[in-house]
A and B are shown apart, each in its own frame.
Chain A
Amino acid sequence: MFKRRITYLSILSVSLCVFMAVVVITVMTGLLVDFKEKNHNYAGDCIISTDSLVGFPYYQQFLESISKETFIEAASPVIKSYAILSYQGSYSNTNVEIMGIDPASFSKVTNFADTLYYHKNQPAAAFEPSYDTQLPGCVLGIDLALSRDQFGKYSHSDFAPMAAFEITSFPLTPKGAPARAGLGLVSNKTFYYSDDSHSGLAKVDGSVVYLPFDHAQQLCGMSGQNKRVTAIHIKIKDNSDLDSAAQKLQYLWNDFKASKKDLPYASLLNNVKVQTWKQFRRASIAAVETEQIMMILSFIFIALISIFIVFVVFYMIVSHKRKDIGILKSIGISKINIISIFLLFAFFVGLLSSLIGTVGGIIFLGKINPLESWLYEHFGFQLWNRMVYAIDLIPNKIEIEVIFVIALAAILACLSGSAIPAYQAAKMQPAESLQVNQL
């Protein structure tokens, strides 16, 4: 059977299906894993936070109380709010999300330090502009500071350039009322560009401005007697389980909340949620997970089509082999042996196709980025426009488990596609398959 041209066509068609599955699943899974990793890097393992812009009080006592817990490695308070960023010296401004952080502790719970350009190795000094360390610094999301080129690269100068920005925010009282009613309502403060942060998340890099914790607290009206924050990011120890850690934190938070119930503004503690990073970033991750589900569904359809193609191919092979089956049966070969011959043949077609498709896919994935660069340079074609999409390289990390599942699925598709024709072939009367029914 391996001497028939149709056999090679069937190997080619199954190989192409395997190749396509290897490439697309690797790239899409890579994108999803990368996106999830970036979302995790942006937040702590567990986050105690409120959606309210008023925040919640007594966070210092809670930080102190959890510092004794053995499953917690580090914790960092965060203030999140919204503001207007004005470029000093120009009339342009934009709405931004401000995050007040202590860069040293925040770098212990997230990978904030790795996202910096000028202060990668000294995150504690992230808010110290290199041109004057005494000035209040700010770290801009990279897309607020720089533009990407067509290859997805940013061009930094050797030293941070001097640039001033005015941040205008709307401070709120613990009751949620404007804190500066009658005093112009807003708070203004000038900050100087000290660094930028490249998280790889388009929304974060294009809208977040990191400010020194104390300044942000002041700007948002959260300083004063009952200091408030909007979140506490927590890193758990490596050997701790994420979900059980979140559960323990929930118990700790419930106890803490109960102990503060008679204190002023204790009701603000009721709006606080304890979440894992996956829950905290669900709004972002959900869209990509939906894409992944769609992709899996698409592949189920592709797999069904592949099985149908294999079925048709095998049906044709069996039809071509009708006479030979008759000959084999006329010399005493059993039905089981006929079925075994076709299933063995299908197994080898599947195995060979998996091997060809997988090797082809791995070679293609190894060259996918240089190939894309070459296509862009010569023909202007780019799979993802790097000026739009926050990815550097097309993910091409080979996952052995994925390859194994695809290869196994291809072999099973060949076996199931050949099972019916093989059974039909075995069932035929020898005289019928020899087509010698002369009367």
Chain B
Amino acid sequence: MNENNIILKAENIHKSYKIGASKLKVLKGVDLELKKGEFAAVTGASGSGKSTLLHILGTLDKPDDGTVIFNGQQLFASSDKYLNNFRNKKVGFVFQFYHLLDELNVLENIYLPVMASKSIFGWFAVKKQARNKALELLSMFGLEDRAKHKPYQLSGGERQRVAIARALINDPPLLLADEPTGNLDSQTGNGIMDVLEKLNTQANQTILLVTHDKNIAKRAERVIKLKNGKIDNTKG
């Protein structure tokens, strides 16, 4: 595989959790590569470490051992400032439980990452631009009439589309989705997958998705299977 074409590379990732006096080893040396523009799905049984792997790849959690390289930069050897910037601009997260802020309306939730990256004055300079971009994304996901609604006033599918819009507001090269359909019925879940597929095919968005659902995983270009804390089978 051409190194220049690799956006994300994980080498020998280990992670364990303390449960009382004992240690539960979740990841036991995971190696993974993701190409630019690829749509891959990580699948495995419940407790196999899928979400843990995704969190480590997105720097939401730290591995006990191993390296994660994003566009040639070792993430866990970088400064906090670099990691904050990475989470803000280079990666977008979509979670199973949406994780929207209930106090903010849909539009505010979407442009929150832009707000987070600016100082007060910087924010006022780009607010209009960010707002227009958020409205554009809302329109793209068919939610233009929901801009002023609060997250709890939306359906599960709508909330997940808002969460995807938030993840895309800063045009990140990588989208990480943790069970994005796990909390939705199959029809709504398929709708979300349509959105992700469209993003991948039309905008060449790199996507790494975690799911336990084989039917959902089948829609990805490549399925990565986790078993006993290791990659079991890679299928293109």
Main secondary structure of the interface of B (DSSP, over half): mixed
From the candidates A326, A333, A431, A438, name the one contacting B116 in the complex (CB within 8 A).
A333
Q: Check A334–B81 contact: CB distance below 8 A.
A: yes
CA distance A432 to B18 in the complex (A): 13
Could you say which residues of chain B place their CB within 8 Å of the CB of A333? 84, 88, 116
B43 within 8 A of A: no
Could you say which residues of chain A place their CB within 8 Å of the CB of B85? 332
Could you say which residues of chain B place their CB within 8 Å of the CB of A3? 103
A438 to chain B, nearest CB (A): 4
B178 to chain A, nearest CB (A): 7
Identity of the chain A residue whose Cβ is nearest the Cβ of B55 in the assembled complex: A431
Q: Check A434–B99 contact: CB distance below 8 A.
A: yes
Identity of the chain B residue whose Cβ is nearest the Cβ of A336 in the assembled complex: B80
Identity of the chain A residue whose Cβ is nearest the Cβ of B88 in the assembled complex: A332
Q: Check A439–B55 contact: CB distance below 8 A.
A: no
Q: Check B80–A335 contact: CB distance below 8 A.
A: yes
Q: Check A437–B80 contact: CB distance below 8 A.
A: no
A331 within 8 A of B: yes
CA distance A287 to B23 in the complex (A): 65
Residues in A407-439 with C-beta less than 8 Å from chain B: 429-432, 434, 436-439
Could you say which residues of chain B place their CB within 8 Å of the CB of A436? 51, 55, 95-97, 178
Do A431 and B60 contact each other (CB < 8 Å), given the known contacts A330-B93, A332-B113, A436-B95? yes
Residues in A322-350 with C-beta less than 8 Å from chain B: 323-324, 326-335, 337
Q: Check B88–A429 contact: CB distance below 8 A.
A: no
Could you say which residues of chain B place their CB within 8 Å of the CB of A331? 87-88, 93, 112-113, 116, 166
CA distance A431 to B51 in the complex (A): 10
Identity of the chain A residue whose Cβ is nearest the Cβ of B96 in the assembled complex: A436
Q: Check B60–A327 contact: CB distance below 8 A.
A: no
B117 within 8 A of A: yes
Do A434 and B60 contact each other (CB < 8 Å), given the known contacts A330-B93, A332-B89, A332-B117? yes
Identity of the chain B residue whose Cβ is nearest the Cβ of A4 in the assembled complex: B103
Most buried by B among A323, A331, A429: A331
Q: Check B99–A323 contact: CB distance below 8 A.
A: yes
Identity of the chain A residue whose Cβ is nearest the Cβ of B27 in the assembled complex: A439
CA distance A35 to B89 in the complex (A): 68
Residues in B88-124 with C-beta less than 8 Å from chain A: 88-89, 93, 95-97, 99-101, 103, 112-113, 116-117
| Contact surface of A with B, Cβ cutoff 8 Å | 1, 3, 323-324, 326-335, 337, 429-432, 434, 436-439
| Contact surface of B with A, Cβ cutoff 8 Å | 17, 24, 26, 46-52, 55, 58, 60-62, 80-81, 84-89, 93, 95-97, 99-101, 103, 112-113, 116-117, 166, 178
Known: A324-B101, A332-B85, A436-B178. 14 other contacts (CB 8 A): A323-B99, A326-B60, A330-B60, A330-B99, A332-B113, A332-B117, A429-B60, A431-B61, A434-B60, A434-B99, A436-B95, A436-B96, A437-B52, A439-B51
Give 16 A-B contacts (CB < 8 Å), ordered by A residue: A3-B103, A331-B93, A332-B85, A332-B116, A334-B84, A335-B80, A431-B61, A432-B61, A436-B95, A436-B97, A436-B178, A438-B50, A438-B51, A439-B24, A439-B26, A439-B48
